[in-house]
Amino acid sequence: MTALTHVLPYLVAVWVFLAGCYGLATSRDLIHAVGCLSVCQAATYVLLLAVGYRDGGTAPVFSDVTPGSRPVVDPVVQALALTDVVVGATVTALLLALVVQVAKRHGTVDPDELSELRG
């Protein structure tokens, strides 16, 4: 492997995270902002799985691989990411439920027009 591919996955995760943050900070639409937040979340999965990868490794499932015959990638990070993917979606749903109510009560989803809580 070249030097670049040694860090590329991490750099991609960082890029995705920062892109999501940028989108969140400059968003003109709360629904779009929630979408950006889920982009940030995706970055954490990429980082976790990249950390757990092992060259030449196979999936840590021994239904058709004899244990010990091949190296396997780290199952722990996969378990962490797997549960978080589903849970992240429900958290997104909760945020969207709040956005729905904001749209109802304020008549807009543009954060620039929400000016009640100040000072």
Partner 1 sequence: MTETVIVVALLLVAVAATAAVAVRDPVRQSLVLAVLGVVLAVLFTVLQAPDVGLSQLAVGSALTPLLLLLTVRKAKRRGRRAERGRSAGGDGP
Partner 2 sequence: MRLWLVAVGGAGLAALLVAACLRLPGFGGDRHPYGDRAVEAALSRHTANTVSSVTFDQRAFDTLGEMSILFAAVLGSVVLLRQTRDEHRARPEPAAVSRPVRRYALLVLPVALLTGLYVIAHGQVSPGGGFQGGVVAATALHLLYLGADYRALERLRPLAPYEAADALAASSYLVTGLAALLAGSAFLANTLLPYGTFNTLASAGTVPLLNAAIGMEVACAVVVLLAGFLDQAVEIVDEGEHDEHAEHDGGGKTGGNAADGGDHDDSGKRGK
Partner 3 sequence: MHHLLPLLVAVPLLGAALLAATGRHLPRTVADGAACAVSAGSAALALLLLAHSSPPLTEWAGGWEPVAGHSVGILLTGDGPGLGMAALVCVLTLAALAYSRRSLDEPPHGHAGAFPALVLVFQAGMCGFAIAGDLFNAFVWFELMSVVAYALTGHRVEEARAVQGALAFAVVNSLGAYALLMGIALLYARTGELALARIGDALDAHGPPDALVLAGFVLVLTGLLVKAAAVPFQFWLPDAHAVAPTPVCMLLSGVMVELGVFGVWRVYDTVFSGPGGLPAADAERVLTVLGAATAVTGAVMCWHQRHIKRLLAYSTIAHTGLFLIGLGTLTPEGDDGVALYVVGHAGVKAALFACAGILLDRYGSVDEHVLHGRARPLRGVAVMVVAGALGLAGLPPFGTALGKSFAEEAAGGPFTVLYVLTSAVTAAAVLRVAARVFLGLGPTPREAGGEGAEDAYETTGSGEEPESGRRMARVPDTMTAVPALLLAGALAAGAVPGFGTAVARAVSGATTAGLVHTSVHWTPLGVGLGLLSSLLAVALAAVAVARPGRLAVPGRALPLRRLQSGHIGDYVAWLLVGTTVLGVLALPAVLSG
Contact positions toward partner 1, by CB under 8 A? 1, 5, 8-9, 12, 15-16, 19-20, 22-23, 27-29, 31-32, 34-36, 38-39, 42-43, 45-46, 49-50, 52-53, 57-61, 72-73, 78-79, 81-82, 85-86, 88-89, 92-93, 96, 99-100, 103-104, 107-110
User: Dihedrals φ, ψ of 68, to 5°?
Assistant: 90, -10
**Number of chain residues interacting with partner 3 (CB under 8 A):** 40
Instruction: Residue 29: name its binding partner from partner 2, partner 1, partner 3, none (Cβ under 5 to 8 Å by kind).
Output: partner 1
90: Cβ contacts below 8 Å, ≥ 6 apart: none
* Closer residue to partner 3 in complex, CB, 35/58: 35
**Residue numbers at the binding site for partner 2 (CB under 8 A):** 1, 5-11, 14, 17-18, 21-22, 25-26, 50-55, 57, 59-63, 67, 71-80, 82-87, 89-91, 93-94, 96-98, 100-101, 104, 107
14: Cβ contacts below 8 Å, ≥ 6 apart: 43, 47
Question: CA gyration radius for the chain?
Answer: 20
Minimum distance, C-beta of residue 87 to partner 1, in the bound complex (Å):
10
17 residue type, one letter: F
* Cβ contact 43:14 at 8 Å: yes
* 101, burial (CB in 10 Å: exposed 0-12, middle 13-18, buried 19+): exposed
